[in-house]
Amino acid sequence: MNRIAERFARLKRDRQKGFIVFIGAGDPNLEMTRRLALAFDQAGIDVLELGVPFSDPLADGLVNQLAAQRGLESGTTPVKVLQTVAAIRRDSQIPIVLYIYFNLLHRRGLEIFVAEAAAAGVDGLLVLDLPPEESENYEALMRESGLCAIYLIAPTTPDSRIELIVRRGSGFIYYVSREGVTGMQASVSDTIGQMTARIRAHTSLPVAVGFGISTPEQARTVAENADAVVVGSAIVNEIAAHGRSADLTERVMAFTIPLAKAVKEKRTSP
C-alpha cells in the first residue's frame, strides 16, 4: 500500500488530523533537506512535500520563489532531488510528495520520471500546472507505479470540476484555501468549511487544506474542517532566516512542532 494512503488510513483509525509540511528541496542544500526530512519524521509530521526548484514558479509567492532560487543556486536538479529521497528512504518511511512544475517532468519524459520517482521512494506527485484535462496518460502511469496523483481544488473550482478532479486524483485532495499564490497571510479564509463540505459531497478522499497558514491558531481553525493541514511558506521562511546557522534543524523544529500540536489537538468526530 502507498505510504500516503497508509498514513491517512492510520489517521482515520486514530481519529487524528494530519499535518503536512512543505519545504523547498535543496534549500539551503540537499544534505540539509535530508536532515530536515528525518527530523520532520521524528516529530510526527504526516506527509512531507518537497518543492522541486523551477526557474519560473508562477503559482508561488515570493517566499517560495526565493526558496526555489536558493535551491537552484545550490545545484539542485530533479535527478538530485530523487537521489535525496532515496537517501531519506534509508532511514525513514515518511510519506513524500514532490511539488513540481510540469516542464521538469515533461523534459525528463513523463514515463521515465514517474518510474524513477517510484524507484526513489516518492509516494505522490503534485504537479502545479497539470490540470486533469491535460494529464493524458499521467494518472495511468502513476497508478501502475503505485504513486498518488494529487490534484488541487481552488475556491474558483465549480462542482462540475470538483467531480472531475476527485475522480482523477488519488491519495488526498489538496484544497487551496484562497485565490492566490502560496504565502502567509494574516487571516484564513472563512469559506473553508463550505468548500470542504462541497468536496466531501463528491469523494471520500481525505481533504488537505493549505495556502496561507502560518500560526498555530490558524492551523487549529483550519483543522476543524480539514483532514490535514498544510504549512509551507511559514516554515520556508524559517529556513530562509536560519539557513546558514548550525542549528537550523532545531530552529525549524521549534517552529514546526507547535503547529503540528495545534493540528493534532483536533480530533475527528467518530
Which residues lie across from 210 on neighbouring strands?
176
**Interface with other proteins, residue 270, by CB under 8 A:** no
Residue 114 grid coordinates: 514517474
CA separation for the pair 1, 227 (Å, rounded): 20
C-alpha cell of residue 233 = 511558506
60 is catalytic: yes
Query: Roughly how many angstroms between the first and final C-alpha of the chain, as a whole number?
Result: 24
Please tell me whether residue 181 binds other proteins under the rule CB under 8 A: yes
Catalytic pick among 60, 116, 123, 227:
60
- For position 99 contacting other proteins by CB under 8 A, the verdict is no
* 206 Cβ neighbours under 8 A, 6+ residues apart: 8, 11, 12, 18, 172, 173, 227, 228
Pick from 103, 203, 215, 249 the residue near other proteins by CB under 8 A.
103
The residue range among 6-14, 22-30, 74-82, 195-203 that interacts with other proteins, by the rule CB under 8 A, is 74-82
59 counts as binding other proteins under rule CB under 8 A: yes
DSSP E strands, the chain:
18-24, 47-51, 96-100, 124-127, 148-149, 151-153, 173-176, 207-210, 228-231
Residues 188-247 that bind other proteins (CB under 8 A): none
Stretch that binds other proteins, among 12-20, 39-47, 105-113, 245-253 (CB under 8 A): 105-113
Q: Is 120 in the site for other proteins (CB under 8 A)?
A: no
Q: Is 14 a catalytic residue?
A: no
Instruction: Give least dist CB 182 to other proteins, A.
Output: 10
Q: Which amino acid is at 111?
A: E
Burial class (CB in 10 A: 0-12, 13-18, 19+), 62: exposed
Q: Which of 108, 198, 242, 261 binds other proteins (CB under 8 A)?
A: 108
Q: Kindly list the residues in this chain that would bind other proteins in the complex (CB under 8 A).
A: 54-61, 65, 72, 77-79, 102-108, 128-131, 133-134, 151-158, 161, 165, 176, 179-181
Residues labelled catalytic: 49, 60
